[in-house]
Each structure stands twice: as C-alpha cells, then as structure tokens.
A and B are shown apart, each in its own frame.
Chain A
Amino acid sequence: MSVLALAWKFFKRELRHGEFTLLLLSLIIAIGSLSSVGFLIQHIEYSMAAHANQLNGAQLILKSSVPVPQRWLEEARKENIEQAQMQMFTSMLVFGDEFKLAQIKAVSDNFPLQGELRIVRKNTITAAKAPPRGEIWLDLRLEEHLNERNNEKQENEQQVSIELGEFKFQVGGVLDRVPGQSSSFFSIAPSAMINLADLALTDIIQPGSKIDYLYFFSNSSASLKSGSLEAYRQWLQDKLQPGQTLRSGVEDIKAVNASLQKAGRYLSLAAMLTLLLSAVAIAINSHRYGQKQFKNNAIMLCLGCSENHILFIELIKLLLLGLVGSVLGIILGYFVFTGLLNIIETVLPVEGFSMHAKEGYYYYTLPVWTGLAAGLFLLLSLSMANLTQIKKMSPMGLIRKDVLQENISQKWFYLIAFAGLILISIWYTENVRLSLLFYLVLLISVIVLYFLARVLLDVIIKSGRYFQIINRLSLLNLERHKRAVLLQITTFSLIFSLLIVIFLVRTELLENWQEQFPQNTPNHFVINIQSNEKRQFIDFLEQNSIKTQGLYPMVRGRLTHLNQIPIMQAVPEAAREHNALHRELNLSFEQTQNQKRHHFSGTNAEISIESTLAEALNIHPGDVLGFQIGSRKIEGKVAVIRVVQWDSFQPNFYIVFSPGLIEQYSMNWIGSFYLSSGNKFKLNLLVKQFPGITILEVDEILKEVQLIINRISNAIELIFVFIVVAGALILSSSLMATLSSRMYENAVIRTLGASTGQIRHFLLVEFTVVALVSTVIAVVLAEGASYVLYQQVFQIAYVLHPQVWLGLSIISVLSISGLGLLMVNKIFTQPANQLLNQWME
C-alpha cells in the first residue's frame, strides 16, 4: 500500500475516535472563532463604506472650481461608472420684493446616485431624485422665512414662486436631507435645490462666477476597493489640477475620520487578538495530540516503519485534518456570525446599521482565506514540532513516555509558527506597525509572565505549606502538576489579558467619543460679530435661552517673518506651499479671564501656536514670529505649542497671542452655540437683528457625525461580544486539553477511596490557584499592553483600572473552577474502572 493510501486510511480511522476528533474539534472552534470575527469585521467595514456612500450620495466625488474636461467623464462612462453632477454657488433668491442670500445646488436628474435625498411635501417626508423642471426646493430656514412672509401677506404657499435670476420657480418641497452635504462642510447661507437643466434658464452664470462643480461617481459595489472605480480614481488622481479634489468615504470630516481611524485600529487589534487566541487553542491541542501520538508512532517504529515514513504519514493526516477542520470552522464561523448578528439585532436594535447587507457577503473572502491559512499553517507547524521528536527517541522510550527534552528542530518549528502568525496577522489586518508592535509586546510578555507564574506558584506552594492554609494533598496536587499548571496559567493569563485589553480599549474609545460630543455640542458658528455688537449679541442669546461657549476675538493678519527672516526664506522648501503662508490668518488673543488656558508666563509678547502648523513650518518654542496686521507689524515669541482638537466643534485658532498685544487692532468676534432643530427659526431673528453677521450651520453635519460615531460605537460593542464568545470557547477547549491527565489521576484516587468532597477540594484548590495566578499575571500584562496601545496607537490618556482587577478575579475563579469541575464531572458519575480503562486505551 502506498504511503498516501496508508495516510488516508489512518486519517479515516482516527477521525472516528480519540485524539484526532478532539484536535479536529479544537481546530473547528479556533477557526470558527477567528472567521466569525473576521466576517463581522468585513461586514462592519462594508456597512461603514455603504453608509459613507449614502452620506456622500456616491462612492467618489470630484470637486472642481472649473468644469472638468469631457474626456474625464467619457472615461467613466466607458468603464460603466454611473455619474451625477451638481453645480453649487451663492446667489440671491427673490421672494416678491425681498432678497435672500442662498446657496444654490443645481443637480442632474439622477442625483443622488446613492443614499436618500429626502423632502417634505405636504407634511410627509418622501425620498426623491432631483427636483422636476421648474421646481425649487428650499431648506428649513428659507422655508420658515417664506412662511413668515406668507403669514404677513396672507398668501397661500402653493401660489408662491421664487425668482432666481431670470427664471421663476415654483416652491415644490422642503429639503429634509441632502446627500453630499459634507462636501461643503458648512453652508454659509441657507440652501435651495433646482434641476441642473433649469440652470441655463436663470441666466445667472456669467463668466467669472464662482461655482463649485461636483461630479459624483458610483458603481454597483459598495466598496471602493473593488472593480473599475478604484482604477478610475487612480487614473483621475494623476490628472488633478490645483483647485480639484477627489474624495471618498467620510475622510474629509475630521471628527469622523479620527474616529474611523481609531475604530479601524480597534478592528485590527480585534482581528489579531482572535487570531492569537485561535493559535493558542491550536497550539495546546496540537501539543496534546503530538504527545498522545508517541505511543502509536513507537509501535509503528517497532513494526518496521521508518521515522521519515511516519512523519510523512502524520503530515498528510494533519494536512487533511487541517483542511477539513478549517473548512468546517469557516462554515461554523459564518453561521455564528449571521446567528449572533440576528440575535444582537433583536436584543439591541442599531439604528441605521445594516445587519442584513447580504449583497455584500460576496466580498467577504478575506476571513475565508486567512482562516484556511491560519488553520493549516498553525496546525502543521505546531503539531510537527512535537511529532518530530520521535527522531530523538527510542521506540521503547516513546512507549514509556520518557521525559522528552526539547530539541533544536522543535524550536525551529515554534519559531516558524510564530513568524507565520505575524505574517498572517499583517495580511489579515493590513497594518504592519500594529502587528509588529503587538507581537513584540506579546513575546516579551509571555517570557516575563512564564517566569512570573513560576515564581508565584512557588510562593503559593511554599507559603501554603508553611502556614498550613492549604492541605498537603492539594499542595502535592499542585506541585506534581507544576508543568501543566504553568502551561495552563500561561494560556489563561494570555487569554484573560487579551480580553482585558480589548475591553479596556473598547471602553476608553466609547467614553472618549461620548465626551467628544456631549449633549448640546455647538452646532452653529457665528462670525463677523463687531465689537460694538458683542454685548447686544450675548444679550440676544441669553434672552432666547441659547447656550454659548463664549465669544472669541479674531484679528486678521499675515505671517511674514520667522526670527526676523522673511517667512518664505525661513521655512523649509517643502513648507512654502503651505496654505497658511498664502492667506490672512485669523489671529486671536487670550482674554485675561481665561489666561491659564494657554499657559503664557505673562512677561513677554508671547504666542501659542497650533502643533501641526508649527511642525509643518518647523517652528519651535523660542522662535520669534512676525505678523503684518493691516499696515502695522507685530512680533511675538513662541511660548506654547498647542494640540488642537479640530474635531471638537469648538472655535479653534492656529495662532493665539498673549493679552495686551493685538487688542488695539480692528477685530471682530466668533462664537458657537447649540440650537435644536425646533428653534431654527431663531436664526432668522438673529440675522434680522444683526444683519452683518454670518452664520455657519453645522447642525446637519454634526448630526451625521454623531450618527456615524454611534454606529462605530455599536460596531465596537458587537466585536467585543464576538471576542468574548470566542474567548470563552477557546478557554474551555484549552481547559479540556489540559485536564485529561487529571481525569486519570482522580480515577485512581477514587479507587483508593477518596470521597467526592476530597476530590472536589483538590480540584477546587488547583483551579482557584490557577485562576488567581492567571488573573494577577493577566492584569500586569494587560495594564502594560494597554499603556503601550493607549499611548502609541489610540492616543488616549492612560489610567490604572482596579475595577477590572476585581472583576476579572471573580470571573476567572468562577469560569475556570466552574468549567473545570463541569468537565471533570465524569469522575464523579462514571464507575472508576471505566475511567481507568479509558485511560489505558
């Protein structure tokens, strides 16, 4: 019989019973956990992308200050990419005898390509495409203005027409939601929408008119990565001129972008974590399998099979097992993924989060490939590490299970397994830095924690003996299993610490985001408040119960010198194109009442500068900056480099002066406040009283940002649930793998007359010690790892988490003792001779 046929025969036979089945089961669980998290991560990424496209109205948006060459659009057509257009400009709308400044959006018939354009027509909200010819749709602010006017003049809405340039439009509806809103970030004026085909009739566009041309592109898949669209994006990218930008997703919204980046890193971390958990489970079970195979292989050796022959047969068997286990694991992972998703959806409805985006599942191939690769590779390398030891042993030695010395080839296999794990993780997460950092920390930690576990265990055994707090048999039990106990402790503390890390990072991120946008986050900015209006302006807000964060002075000036050298010569060549050097900056100064905010010493003319600008222009503390404000020049020394949270929806400045330096220059004020949508009409009152001010409405965008962040938060919660489930499965499979020798020993002890209570007591002491030592080590490891992750990867402040220490102690004792006792329950229910016979087989 050929070796292959022999291997196939053994494979089939061993599948039917014993260790092979256990190994297969553990592989299915490990790969199932890995791929279920993988599927979920892909699903979240897909849903996020789909949502971003809905927000944008398309997958890709090209913005240009001039019409783009026709060839560009033809190229898209050739690639079967759908396209829509918008032209956006500011103009006067004429309501009878009244003029109102508005931002006009003229859109093509098929706008939006994705997402929903919603309008209110006769008090019902409906989804729509572009306005029909001859109609204009107004936003809420214009609509309210119109209603006020109608009330005054007793006119009926239906009869109202609005002029734009030379053309009279009928008011057809009120804009409720407009995709692509984020492209302009905020609208300075209230907006109105017309059909692009009507634009020419208004005769409003003249040579030199300032217009933004927006081109929307989409194809059938949600992911930009797939298909022709990505190729087209790259093709366009090379052709862009100044004044033209391309964007996809929600990357231009800083607040969302920062959160998305953090969420992305969290997902990567989660992916790596499940990969590692799975590797641990496979490692333990492979080790056990390798050990159990010694006897069989020794018999084969005695029967005249060569070592290489045996190893080849084992390799084929494992390859087959790896394939079967990984495929079944992936199928299991898929069902766990869809099942959990459905359960979670009914328990915890997530607004707007597409739980059933089935059409996207086609693209979820990454978890399948990584699952297969991880399953096969880890199983082979880790099992072979043990199996190759037959080369070093005599057959009788193997039968007697003599103590095995770790040999060099075994170390090589472990090294290969570790390197492979890192590679799979890089492939899986597409994040080299995070992967390398993670495994470096891991490697150091495992070494440290192994020694820590040894020391702790010795201390417990010695002090237990000295103080006689644990009875001798329990101590003996611990001592005689020292190796196995250490292996358990190392495994469990690794599993626990990974779970703590993912829990801590999750909690921090969620809290961080909640703090970022507390209720009443300002959703309107006001600029151009004159100094003489300031008092009345604040009074107006107070009378109308509008909360403001205060007003900030703004002086316009140009940065001209750095250390007395003209700025263009002083900054590095790469920085000369920086936008801040080519326009007037909004300079502010510290008002005395909150001087502490910038930590000025108060002795000199000092400046606080925003950190990214300082870095870009190579400006350091102590440098002297020169500014031109009107016709006057002014200097100040850089005292503070300040990190600005641009995503905070608060007024922020690049440059802030210390008090007493620029107060005498002409200035106006900027402020921000929160206004609920029911109070929107107050804006019209505000503008009526202060006609000179400009209001920037960011409420819509803030709402979107909050929605996206809610969604990311929910996704992070989901992942967490998955990982906890995966962790629990892997914990139990690892526990099971390390318990078999206990079954035998306790069966022997039972034949000697040990009572159930006595055996329970031994096991309980052992499990509790394992749980508590694992907890201590896990906490040390997790706090260390979170410190690095918080600082290096997530940029969030680090504190210790004593509540987690306590929580984990309770959970670990309960779970390990509970699960452990449950698993060895057989000892108490099965006749002792059956247990002994099972072992002898």
Chain B
Amino acid sequence: MLVVNSLAKKILSPNSHLDILNDINFHLKAGETMAITGVSGSGKSTLLSLLAGLDKPTSGQVKIDGQVLSELSEEERAQLRRDKVGFIFQSFHLIPALTALDNVMLPLELKGDDDAQEQALKLLQRVGLSERYNHKPLQLSGGEQQRVAIARAFAGKPRLLFADEPTGNLDQLSGENVIDLLFQLNQEQGTTLVLVTHDPLLAKNCHRQFRLEQSSLQEINLQESE
C-alpha cells in the first residue's frame, strides 16, 4: 500500500544545509496501522506531509498503491489524494465559514458524489455530532472540531489515512474519545493508517511503531520492547 525508499528532506541555506529526514525506508501493507513517534522538531510532521504528497522530498520516493508520488504531476497528486488519501491535522483545519455538514461534504463534492449530503450526515451521526451539523467550527469545542475533521477525513473513503497528532490540541477525555473514534472507523473501513503522535498509549494501539530520531526512522520491535 505504502512504500518508502531512501526518502530524504534537506533544507538548504547559502552556508549550510539541515538534514530533516535522511534515508527513510519502510513499507506498509493495506489495513496496517503505523505510529510515528519522536520528540518535538524531529521531523514527524514533515515526514507525514511527504508521505501524503503535501510536500516534495529532496530525494527518494514514496509509492502509494504502486504510484510514485514524485513522478506524478500536481494535478495527479490531487486526484490521488481525492481518491485514496485522507488527512487529519493537529489544528483541525476546518473551513471557518462552512458548517460542520458543509465541511464534511466537501471531499465528497470534490469527487462529484451525488449523495454527498446523505453520506456526510451519516458520518456526522457516526461521530456523534448529528445534532450540531449546522454549527460552524468556531461554535464547536476542540474535541468536536476534531470529530468533524475525522468525519471529513473518512468521508472520501480513503484507503490511506494520515493523522498528524490528532489529539495534540485536546484534553485527555476528548483525546481518548477521538482516538476511539479514529480506530473504530479505521477498522470499519479497513483503512491503512499512518499516525504521528507524542502519545505512547496512542502509539500502542497501532500494529507497527516507528521512532524518528536524528533524521532517521527506526522501527521499534514490539515483541522486544514488551
């Protein structure tokens, strides 16, 4: 499903260069879940952006379903995202002027689905916000906003879902609710999940765990660590 080969990201400045990511390699099968942990500033979010095709690597490649992202045009990458990829952000990134329902409908409408509203309502019901479908993001709490974001991410029925510290902006209770919801929906839809998190508990819910340290990614052997 997801294959990463020799992926690197450098930031070049006139006098020096900074290696953010160096020689990253792994592959993930369909339906697997993967957690990436690491200290702040270790490059977790950058890696996620590269995996989702939201940013361009300095070298190396990311393959989603056999398609090499760097060989695709921006247009083709957009189509890939629309058809196969979902994204959950730490800071939600809901569109403030749209209601919860409209936000969830957005990816469906971009795909051209005729029953966008129906599907979106179902998802909102699934995340427990059917009563608040007509509220705008600013009228919702952080936990509620993230639930809308999860509904939006699953709306396009992605085969691959990226979540960037989905609980980072939430209190413990809301965070736990969001995690439960995320894994439930993931299971229901059989999605492959890549999760960036600080939270060891959250990481433990995943099939595989990776740690990003000094620009390189190491898989943690779960049996050993146990």
Q: Which A residues are closer than 8 A to B by beta carbons?
A: 400-403, 472-473, 476, 480-481, 745, 748-758, 828, 831-834, 836, 840
A745 to chain B, nearest CB (A): 5
Q: A476-B98, A832-B54 are in contact. Are A753 and B109 (CB under 8 A)?
A: no
Cβ of B81: which chain A residues have Cβ within 8 Å of it? 751-753
Asked whether A752 lies within 8 Å of B156 as measured between CB atoms, the reply is: yes
Q: Which of B34-42, B88-96, B172-180, B195-203 contacts A (4 or more CB under 8 A)?
A: B88-96
Q: A749-B106, A753-B156, A755-B78 are in contact. Are A833 and B85 (CB under 8 A)?
A: no
Chain B contacts with A in 67-81, Cβ cutoff 8 A: 74-75, 78-81
| Closest A residue, CB atoms, query B90 | A840
Q: A476-B102, A831-B55, A833-B49 are in contact. Are A751 and B87 (CB under 8 A)?
A: yes
Asked whether B49 lies within 8 Å of A480 as measured between CB atoms, the reply is: no
Asked whether A752 lies within 8 Å of B152 as measured between CB atoms, the reply is: yes
Asked whether A751 lies within 8 Å of B54 as measured between CB atoms, the reply is: yes
Q: Bound state CA distance, A755 and B75, in angstroms? A: 6
Q: Bound state CA distance, A750 and B52, in angstroms? A: 12
Asked whether B78 lies within 8 Å of A480 as measured between CB atoms, the reply is: no
Binary A-proximity of B152-171 (CB < 8 A = 1, otherwise 0) = 10001000000000000000
Within 8 Å of chain A (Cβ to Cβ): is B220?
Answer: no
Cβ of B11: which chain A residues have Cβ within 8 Å of it? none
Asked whether A756 lies within 8 Å of B93 as measured between CB atoms, the reply is: no
Within 8 Å of chain A (Cβ to Cβ): is B110?
Answer: yes
Bin chain B's interface residue count: 20 to 34
Cβ of B138: which chain A residues have Cβ within 8 Å of it? 400-403
| Closest B residue, CB atoms, query A473 | B109
Cβ of A754: which chain B residues have Cβ within 8 Å of it? 78, 82, 110
Asked whether B74 lies within 8 Å of A828 as measured between CB atoms, the reply is: yes
Asked whether A834 lies within 8 Å of B79 as measured between CB atoms, the reply is: no
| Closest A residue, CB atoms, query B73 | A756
Q: Which B residues are closer than 8 A to A by beta carbons?
A: 45, 49, 52, 54-56, 74-75, 78-83, 85, 87, 89, 91, 93-95, 97-98, 102, 106-107, 109-111, 138, 152, 156
Q: Bound state CA distance, A77 and B166, in angstroms? A: 89
Q: Can you name 7 extra interface pairs (CB under 8 A) apart from A472-B109, A831-B55? A: A745-B97, A751-B81, A752-B87, A753-B79, A753-B83, A755-B79, A828-B74
Q: Bound state CA distance, A403 and B56, in angstroms? A: 37
| Closest B residue, CB atoms, query A403 | B138
Q: A400-B138, A836-B89, A840-B91 are in contact. Are A752 and B98 (CB under 8 A)?
A: no
| Closest B residue, CB atoms, query A484 | B97
| Closest A residue, CB atoms, query B49 | A833
Of the A-B pairs whose beta carbons lie under 8 Å apart in the complex, a sample of 11, sorted by A's number, is A473-B110, A745-B97, A749-B95, A749-B106, A751-B52, A752-B152, A753-B79, A753-B111, A755-B82, A832-B55, A833-B49
Cβ of B89: which chain A residues have Cβ within 8 Å of it? 836
> Is the contact region of chain A dominated by helix, strand, or loop, or is it mixed?
helix
Q: Bound state CA distance, A452 and B89, in angstroms? A: 40
Asked whether B85 lies within 8 Å of A753 as measured between CB atoms, the reply is: yes
B105 to chain A, nearest CB (A): 9
Q: Bound state CA distance, A753 and B111, in angstroms? A: 9
Cβ of B98: which chain A residues have Cβ within 8 Å of it? 476, 480
Cβ of B102: which chain A residues have Cβ within 8 Å of it? 476, 480
Q: Bound state CA distance, A749 and B75, in angstroms? A: 13
Q: Bound state CA distance, A266 and B79, in angstroms? A: 56
CB-contact partner of A753 in B55, B91, B95, B107, under 8 A:
B107
| Closest A residue, CB atoms, query B84 | A753
Cβ of A752: which chain B residues have Cβ within 8 Å of it? 81-82, 87, 106-107, 110, 152, 156
Asked whether B78 lies within 8 Å of A750 as measured between CB atoms, the reply is: yes
Q: Bound state CA distance, A606 and B75, in angstroms? A: 84
Cβ of A833: which chain B residues have Cβ within 8 Å of it? 45, 49, 54-55
Asked whether A834 lies within 8 Å of B75 as measured between CB atoms, the reply is: no
Q: Give me the 10 closest cross-chain CB pairs, A-B, nearest first.
A: A753-B82, A480-B97, A753-B81, A833-B49, A833-B54, A831-B55, A832-B54, A752-B107, A755-B78, A754-B110
B50 to chain A, nearest CB (A): 9
| Closest B residue, CB atoms, query A750 | B78
| Closest B residue, CB atoms, query A471 | B109
CB-contact partner of A834 in B55, B78, B87, B94, under 8 A:
B55
Cβ of B152: which chain A residues have Cβ within 8 Å of it? 752
Indicate the member of A402, A472, A753, A828 with the most B CB atoms within 10 Å.
A753
Q: Bound state CA distance, A836 and B91, in angstroms? A: 10
Q: Bound state CA distance, A227 and B110, in angstroms? A: 72
Cβ of B79: which chain A residues have Cβ within 8 Å of it? 753, 755
Asked whether B75 lies within 8 Å of A481 as measured between CB atoms, the reply is: no
Q: Bound state CA distance, A751 and B54, in angstroms? A: 7
Q: A753-B156, A755-B75, A756-B78 are in contact. Are A836 and B93 (CB under 8 A)?
A: yes
Cβ of A753: which chain B residues have Cβ within 8 Å of it? 78-83, 85, 107, 110-111, 156
Q: Bound state CA distance, A481 and B102, in angstroms? A: 14
B67 to chain A, nearest CB (A): 14
